[in-house]
Amino acid sequence: MVNHCDIGVDIVDIRRIRKSFEKYGDSFLRRVLTEKEISYCKGKKDMMPSVAARFAAKEAISKAVGSGISGGFSWRSVEIDNDEHGKPFMRVLDRSLGIQDSSISLSLSHDGDYAVAFVQIEC
């Protein structure tokens, strides 16, 4: 699917993610996150900033891939994990995307009401 280098960025209002969770509960989480991501987020005092950051990361990678959330890319095509130092990284679960884990750079941040993600697919 990807045969070039590209970037993607997304910002998410954490309040919107919280409202979706309050309305749909765990079914919302299962739709947009993997079980590993859900477990990580539920380990936080307030899981919503981490959920929102992962949501933003998936939107950002879908933009870098060029499809958006559709057209062959789904919420569960990738998984966001953290290394032993807490640095986030992206794992590609759907190999049909044509990208390798090692080619993706990821940065996540959240503050106040917003979470942001920046993704770069490297050559």
Which residues are identified as catalytic?
63, 110
Report residue 68 as tokens.
Answer: 């958006």
Tell me the one-letter amino acid at 73.
Answer: F
Burial of 80 per CB tally in 10 Å (0-12, 13-18, 19+) = buried
Show the tokens assigned to 99. 């990208």
13 annotated ligand-binding residue: no
Which CA distances in Å does 103 have to 29, 38, 40, 46, 122? 27, 24, 23, 31, 5
- CA distances 97 to 1, 4, 76, Å, are 5, 12, 12
Q: Residue 27 in 3-state DSSP? A: helix
DSSP code of residue 82: E
Annotated binding site for Mg(2+): 10, 59
Annotated binding site: 10, 59
